[in-house]
Chains A and B, each alone.
Chain A
């Protein structure tokens, strides 16, 4: 028994330790502590008597308007719901879906194009096989610059939130669907490009090396070797990101394009809290439906792989 205890103690002492990990953990804990202690997040501000009265009023007003001050009658509720849906619900849900689809298709094209120059295995003077004449220093440097600029572009696209992109584009091209589609497409192209580049770099090199040995150039390797191999993984990412596009498209309407978010803000401004709640729940349903569709599609892609 003593032997075992000793062995356990020895193993415990020899466990891998990293100063970087410990420092990071300490810093994160300090950050969280600072946020809660210094960030003015007390519940007092939220629960003052005036606020509570406001909450009570709010809870009263989310009851459907024709049912306020009387007993619940399903027939009245159904008619009211039908009116809200006919007036804005269906249309808003359709616009939300269209925005998400248009944006993710654009993002996929952009992401595919961005993933190649960001992959160190492809964007090099000697892709997959050393060339007979070693490339000059200048060619090496210029390919390194290609990779660096593709990656910086991806980071820039990813780091700026969709909402900010849409806000800026709205001022540039006016209130059409474009600002929202562009904003969603750019942000997601950055993400898909990064994920795609990682997949390209992790591909089995043998088939690509063989293509190269047969004399294929970089473009031909991409079309005949890389694209078919990358496609299944890329489609998985595509559907994952489409889910988030549906979520974001709901909200980006708040900037003035009639997706669900637009009508949610509109209902709030006119204090029609009952309608607002219906639209919020409709958005939730749409997102859940999108998750289901995406899960089914990912299943098809996986089985085909």
Chain B
């Protein structure tokens, strides 16, 4: 009879630690189940809100001055603005993230890419390259660690409301994330082509551009597209801070108790995200086959 395994393995320890941490957090936050029961006011809101889920508003629920854009057109405009902000932000983030991702990948600096022969080559290898690599990693971590909404609050405080500041607020943490993931993808890409190119005597820049990069490109594209979907959500939420995206109208309708309109904007956001999710799924199947 095989010896029975006794005690708790490392994975068990992790599971127990997670459970204990959860209990600690729930106790500290006073998360009692009865806290989930809405107040009578909350119940009324819940009933009114949920009852409109199947009948989103098709026109405004209150009198509007003549000449106001019809509700559905307004929702369409807000959706277009959401896409516009997301596209501008993710394209900017992609450009910055690609540069930082190259600089932050160890393959880029691994000996041959940065170096060269001779005295200057050695100086670059020993001193400049590790310093630049470390600085890039630090910069990436810093950009990522501040949330886009916090960047937005900072820019709002410094510049006031301007569309460009929303785009930059999203682009900074996204560029950091792109850089982190891209550098990892490049470092993990198969090295077969790079080795073959090196054996054939190709210069370091060609080894990187023609040997490593193409192997990482499908995954990089798929990831970039996934981040575009995330940018849509971020851009919608920035509306809560006064930018003309879906969140702005959603919050305004909710505060005016126009729950039908809330659902109109929610469904617009849902359609947008699901459409991009489907599109990116179809792309991934063709790309990463």
Residues of A with Cβ closer than 8 Å to B?
A: 18, 20-21, 24, 31-32, 34-36, 38-43, 45-46, 51, 54-55, 58-59, 94-95, 97-99, 101-102, 105-106, 108, 155-156, 158-161, 163-164, 167-168, 171-174, 176-178, 181-182, 231-232, 235, 238, 247-248, 250-251, 254, 261, 264-265, 268, 273, 276, 280, 283-285, 287-288, 291, 297, 300-301, 303-305
Chain A residue at minimum C-beta to C-beta distance from B234: A161
Give the distance to chain A from B194, nearest Cβ to Cβ, in Å: 19
Among A20, A177, A280, which residue has its beta carbon within 8 angstroms of that of B286? A20
In the complex, B58 has a CB within 8 A of chain A: no
Chain B residue at minimum C-beta to C-beta distance from A176: B35
CA of A173 to CA of B9 in the docked complex: distance in angstroms? Answer: 40
CA of A133 to CA of B43 in the docked complex: distance in angstroms? Answer: 49
Residues of B within 8 A of A248 (CB): 147
- B35 to A178, Cβ gap below 8 A? yes
Chain B residue at minimum C-beta to C-beta distance from A260: B150
The B contact surface, by secondary structure, is helix
CA of A173 to CA of B39 in the docked complex: distance in angstroms? Answer: 6
Among A174, A251, A297, which residue has its beta carbon within 8 angstroms of that of B147? A251
Among A32, A46, A163, A238, which residue has its beta carbon within 8 angstroms of that of B165? A46
Chain A residue at minimum C-beta to C-beta distance from B37: A173
- B88 to A32, Cβ gap below 8 A? yes
Residues of A within 8 A of B11 (CB): 231-232, 235, 301, 304-305
- B240 to A159, Cβ gap below 8 A? no
Residues of B within 8 A of A54 (CB): 158-160
Chain B residue at minimum C-beta to C-beta distance from A178: B35
Give the distance to chain A from B225, nearest Cβ to Cβ, in Å: 8
B1-45: which have CB < 8 Å to A?
9-11, 13-14, 18-19, 21-22, 24-26, 28-31, 35-39, 42-43, 45
- 28 interchain pairs, CB-CB under 8 A: A20-B283, A20-B286, A24-B279, A32-B87, A34-B87, A46-B162, A46-B165, A54-B158, A98-B29, A102-B22, A105-B18, A108-B18, A159-B274, A160-B270, A164-B250, A172-B45, A177-B31, A178-B36, A181-B31, A182-B36, A250-B147, A264-B153, A280-B146, A285-B145, A287-B146, A291-B141, A301-B14, A304-B14
CA of A158 to CA of B140 in the docked complex: distance in angstroms? Answer: 26
Chain B residue at minimum C-beta to C-beta distance from A232: B11
Among A45, A59, A284, A288, which residue has its beta carbon within 8 angstroms of that of B163? A45
Chain B residue at minimum C-beta to C-beta distance from A235: B14
Chain B residue at minimum C-beta to C-beta distance from A159: B273
Chain A residue at minimum C-beta to C-beta distance from B283: A24
Residues of A within 8 A of B156 (CB): 268
Give the distance to chain A from B16, nearest Cβ to Cβ, in Å: 12
Give the distance to chain A from B173, nearest Cβ to Cβ, in Å: 8
Give the distance to chain B from A209, nearest Cβ to Cβ, in Å: 23
CA of A165 to CA of B141 in the docked complex: distance in angstroms? Answer: 28
In the complex, B64 has a CB within 8 A of chain A: no
Residues of A within 8 A of B251 (CB): 167
The A contact surface, by secondary structure, is helix
Chain A residue at minimum C-beta to C-beta distance from B282: A20
CA of A101 to CA of B160 in the docked complex: distance in angstroms? Answer: 34
Give the distance to chain B from A16, nearest Cβ to Cβ, in Å: 9
- B87 to A41, Cβ gap below 8 A? no
- A273 to B147, Cβ gap below 8 A? no
CA of A160 to CA of B111 in the docked complex: distance in angstroms? Answer: 46
What are the 10 tightest A-B residue pairs by CB atom distance, in nearest-first order? A105-B22, A102-B25, A35-B87, A284-B145, A159-B273, A101-B25, A304-B10, A177-B29, A287-B145, A35-B88
- B142 to A163, Cβ gap below 8 A? no
Among A46, A156, A231, which residue has its beta carbon within 8 angstroms of that of B164? A46
In the complex, B277 has a CB within 8 A of chain A: yes
Give the distance to chain A from B270, nearest Cβ to Cβ, in Å: 5
In the complex, B91 has a CB within 8 A of chain A: yes
Further pairs besides A35-B83, A264-B153: 20, Cβ < 8 Å: A39-B167, A98-B24, A102-B25, A102-B26, A159-B269, A160-B269, A164-B266, A167-B254, A172-B38, A173-B35, A174-B38, A177-B30, A177-B31, A247-B145, A276-B157, A284-B142, A287-B144, A287-B145, A287-B146, A291-B141
CA of A158 to CA of B272 in the docked complex: distance in angstroms? Answer: 12
In the complex, B175 has a CB within 8 A of chain A: no
- A34 to B30, Cβ gap below 8 A? no
Give the distance to chain B from A57, nearest Cβ to Cβ, in Å: 9
- B39 to A102, Cβ gap below 8 A? no
Chain B residue at minimum C-beta to C-beta distance from A257: B29
Residues of A within 8 A of B209 (CB): none
Chain B residue at minimum C-beta to C-beta distance from A59: B158
Residues of A within 8 A of B87 (CB): 31-32, 34-35
